[in-house]
Structure 1
Amino acid sequence: MKFASTSNYVADAALAVAVNAAVTLQRPLLVKGEPGTGKTELARQVAKALDMPFMEWNIKSTTKAQQGLYEYDAVSRLRDSQLGEARVHDVSNYIRKGKLWQAFTAPGRVVLLIDEIDKADIEFPNDLLQELDRMEFHVYETGETIRAQHRPVVIITSNNEKDLPDAFLRRCFFHFIRFPDPENLAAIVRMHYPGIKEQLLATALSQFFEIRETPGLKKKPSTSEVLDWLKLILAEDLSPEDLRRDGKDALPRLHGALLKNEQDVQLFERLAFMARGQR
């Protein structure tokens, strides 16, 4: 099966090619792009399209690569030995399987999402090089080697918060999700809100792209944020006329869904003040 757009996800041709190329090459797919452009949702939709189970490993700043393989609970084993528990003689009772272990030993092929890998320590990607390349790892406590029964489809996301090592990048197929153009963004909106009126959609997206392209904006609103904004607009039953701004108020209606820091709010307030001064 080949991946393409689904009933819940609009994938352009370049993204579909990237997914299918990574699957064919049996390489991890490294996906970068602005936050909120659908990188995480992509992995879920790939699993749905390819009819595979979905597993997710959310990376935090404190996450270690070893946690994706397994963790040995030595403290619990020591406590059980002091209590005279019989299970203490089998070290496997104290091994907690990580997401990679679960994906490697699943009964069929799965889609494994390693989400926001750039949040972790810089050594994190390097620590997974051999495991992702050879699809196996050694469990020192039990002496066994865990090998992938079915090579998982690995999708790795990054928000570009830090550079990833070259050795890691060489082992991945890379794709950057560009922000949707007006036509593709309109298609995404119609997918989520099929009953939206075309005039309201055109006015809202025109205003949205004006906001994104405003010079000096600290954080550009994302796809997920425009969807939230339109959900509020529809809930409030606003008309295209309600959305239009004038010199008195440069801030968009319900701007809290689009502008997420005080610097950007103040920027639009200054623009309104300057517009009034020029009249």
Structure 2
Amino acid sequence: MKFQGTKDYVATEDLTIAVNAAVALERPLLVKGEPGTGKTELARQVADALGMRMIEWNIKSTTRAQQGLYEYDAVSRLRDSQLGEEKVHDVSNYIRRGKLWEAFASDERVVLLIDEIDKADIEFPNDLLQELDKMEFHVYETGETVAAVNRPVVIITSNNEKELPDAFLRRCFFHYIRFPDEATMRKIVEVHHPGIKESLLTTALTQFYELRETSGLKKKPSTSEVLDWLKLLLAEDLTAEDLKRDGANALPKLHGALLKNEQDVHLFERLAFMARAQNR
């Protein structure tokens, strides 16, 4: 069974090759790319296409690798021992399974998403090396070894906020999701907004890519943001003619869906001011 994209997700040829190569090699697929390019959604669509359940581990700055394996609740055990609880004699009652344990213990093969791994401490990827490589880990409190019943399809995403260790990278199959070109973006738009008028789409995408390429932009709008923008344009029943701009107004209509900080809004206001000054 191979991943070829789905009706809800436009996958480029190089992306489908990367997914299928990682599955065949039984290596984690490390997916990088700017925010909003569909990295997290890729894991959901791979699970859907391959008929697998997805287990999602969302990484935060405070997340520790151990939490993905298990956590031992010593405080609860101490409290129960003071209360004379019978279950205190079985330490397994105080072991909380993490997402990796859940994936390893599953009777069916699953997709394990480790989302935004670069948010965690720099040592986080190294702390998972052996577990992801050998697909097993040891539970010190109980003395048992947890091995994967079925090797999960592991997809790891990164927004490139920090460099990942070389030892970790060597164990992954890597793919960088490039920002979609206009032809690919049209296919993506067709999935989310089928039947959109050609004139409106052409004008909107022209303005969108011009905006993305503007020098000095702090945050370039992403795929998800252009889809939100188009949704607003359709909701407001705007036409290609309504989107036309002159030198006095450099900001696109409903620009709040595309520009997400005041620096970028001020940049376009300055561009409009300079354009008006030149036309005097």
Q: Which interval holds the TM-score relative to the shorter structure?
A: over 0.9
Determine if contact 2:5/2:46 at 8 Å carries over to the other structure.
Answer: no
1:184-263 aligned at under 5 Å gives the runs 184-263=184-263
CA distances 1:183-205 after superposition (whole Å, capped 9, x unpaired): 00011001001121111111100
- Matching of residue 39 in structure 1 with residue 36 in structure 2: no
Q: Deviation of residue 262 (structure 1)? A: 0.7
Separation in structure 2 between the aligned mates of residue 241 and residue 80 of structure 1, nearest angstrom: 71
Amino acid corresponding to residue 204 of structure 2 in structure 1: A
CA distances 1:138-161 after superposition (whole Å, capped 9, x unpaired): 000000000000000000000000
Amino acid corresponding to residue 132 of structure 2 in structure 1: L
Separation in structure 1 between the aligned mates of residue 107 and residue 199 of structure 2, nearest angstrom: 50
- Matching of residue 140 in structure 1 with residue 140 in structure 2: yes
1:114-153 aligned at under 5 Å gives the runs 114-153=114-153
Tell me the SS of whatever aligns to 1:264: helix
Separation in structure 2 between the aligned mates of residue 202 and residue 220 of structure 1, nearest angstrom: 19
Separation in structure 1 between the aligned mates of residue 193 and residue 259 of structure 2, nearest angstrom: 22
Tell me the SS of whatever aligns to 1:6: coil
Q: Which residue of 1 aligns with 2:9?
A: 9
Separation in structure 2 between the aligned mates of residue 228 and residue 79 of structure 1, nearest angstrom: 51
1:60-75 aligned at under 5 Å gives the runs 60-75=60-75
1:167-186 aligned at under 5 Å gives the runs 167-186=167-186
Amino acid corresponding to residue 104 of structure 1 in structure 2: F
RMSD across aligned positions (CA)? 0.5
Q: Deviation of residue 15 (structure 1)? A: 0.2
Separation in structure 1 between the aligned mates of residue 29 and residue 11 of structure 2, nearest angstrom: 15
1:71-110 aligned at under 5 Å gives the runs 71-110=71-110
Q: Deviation of residue 248 (structure 1)? A: 1.2
Separation in structure 1 between the aligned mates of residue 38 and residue 246 of structure 2, nearest angstrom: 32
Tell me the SS of whatever aligns to 2:242: helix
- Equivalent pairs counted in the alignment come to 279
Separation in structure 2 between the aligned mates of residue 97 and residue 231 of structure 1, nearest angstrom: 41
Amino acid corresponding to residue 241 of structure 1 in structure 2: E
Q: Deviation of residue 244 (structure 1)? A: 1.4
Q: Deviation of residue 243 (structure 1)? A: 1.0
Separation in structure 2 between the aligned mates of residue 244 and residue 219 of structure 1, nearest angstrom: 23
Separation in structure 2 between the aligned mates of residue 250 and residue 130 of structure 1, nearest angstrom: 53
TM-score, scaled relative to structure 2: 0.99
Aligned residues with identical type, % of pairs: 80
- Unaligned regions of 5+ residues in structure 2, if any? none
**Which stretch shifts more, 242-251 or 56-65?**
242-251
Amino acid corresponding to residue 194 of structure 1 in structure 2: P
Amino acid corresponding to residue 44 of structure 1 in structure 2: R
Q: Deviation of residue 122 (structure 1)? A: 0.2
Tell me the SS of whatever aligns to 2:156: strand
Amino acid corresponding to residue 231 of structure 2 in structure 1: K
Amino acid corresponding to residue 185 of structure 1 in structure 2: M
Amino acid corresponding to residue 265 of structure 2 in structure 1: V
- Matching of residue 51 in structure 1 with residue 31 in structure 2: no
Tell me the SS of whatever aligns to 2:196: coil
**Which stretch shifts more, 15-24 or 81-90?**
81-90
Determine if contact 2:31/2:157 at 8 Å carries over to the other structure.
Answer: yes
Which runs of 4 or more aligned residues in structure 1 lie more than 4 Å from their structure 2 counterparts after TM superposition?
none
**Which stretch shifts more, 9-18 or 198-207?**
198-207
